[in-house]
Amino acid sequence: MRQKLIAGNWKMYKTIPEALQLVKQLRTKMEKNPPAKTKVVVCPPFTALAAVSETLKSSAIGVGAQNIFWEDEGAYTGEVSAKMIKNAGAKYVIIGHSERRRYFKEDSQVINKKIKTALAHKLHVIHCVGETLEEREQELTRDIVLNQVEWDLKNLAVADLKNLTIAYEPVWAIGTGRNATPEQAQEVHSFLREILDALFQPGVGKKMTILYGGSVKPENAAALLSQPDVDGALVGGACLEAGSFWKIIQASEKAG
């Protein structure tokens, strides 16, 4: 059985007091009604990582960061290392988010280095892939995700995949309110499993947790999460409020 996972990417939102308010509300909901099958992870900004981790120490909610640099320390102004986020309590890290690719020009070479560093530090990687609208319209979705998986995960071993979750996030669906249809998500997720089989080892694809991300909301979560190859969601906007994030967690619990 694949692990179901609902992860919240807070992006550049929430001061420390706001972050603590949100996770305390979420923790209360989780304690009243603990999810039986769904792992829940929150990824606050770096500034709130330590405080959030401390608050969630004895809870079932995991904590992740949204990025790392590939060196452990050094003269890299403004960067934060894997060692630092671990020390602040993170066990997960999002790598390759389309906003990092787009605004910070992260390419597969950079993403590959970051993934290897995260894995070397025993962090669980949430690796994002996905095509732009233009690429989808040109029917390049398969080529794009194949290319991203192949180069971002270059030289990883099959054993590394245990600590890696892929998030299929079509760029045109992120923060736009326009989600992929459940069928579109299913098609790419199933293709991602084929890619993993071909690149790593036959059979490995069906063991991997693959998330969908892109305008997941309480209203569309059930349909997306009921697809056979959709194991969970990476949620942006709707994770910033405990009530809507909780509804998505409940949709995961009810799905398949």
Nearer to ligand PEP, 85 or 216 (CB): 216
Nearer to ligand PEP, 200 or 224 (CB): 224
Name the minimum Å distance from CB 235 to ligand PEP.
5
Q: Which among 39, 34, 33, 36 is positioned nearest to 4, based on CA atoms? A: 39
Catalytic residue among 99, 124, 169, 189: 169
Q: In this structure, what token pair is assigned to residue 149? A: 């998986």
Nearer to ligand PEP, 55 or 215 (CB): 215
Residue 135 bears catalytic tag: no
Residues that bind ligand PEP (CB under 6 A): 9, 11, 169, 174-175, 213-216, 234-238
Q: Which among 245, 180, 233, 217 is positioned nearest to 4, based on CA atoms? A: 233
Largest CA distance in the chain: 49
Nearer to ligand PEP, 23 or 221 (CB): 221
Catalytic residue among 97, 124, 127, 189: 97
Name the minimum Å distance from CB 58 to ligand PEP.
28
Residue 97 bears catalytic tag: yes
Name the minimum Å distance from CB 203 to ligand PEP.
29
How far apart CA 135 and CA 132 sit, in angstroms, is 5
Q: What separation in angstroms does the CA of 129 have from each of 100, 150, 174, 252, 255?
A: 11, 11, 12, 21, 23
242-254 and 218-225 are packed helices; what angle lies between their axes, rounded to 10 degrees? Answer: 20
Name the minimum Å distance from CB 99 to ligand PEP.
7
Q: Give the residue numbers annotated as catalytic, written as ranges.
A: 97, 169
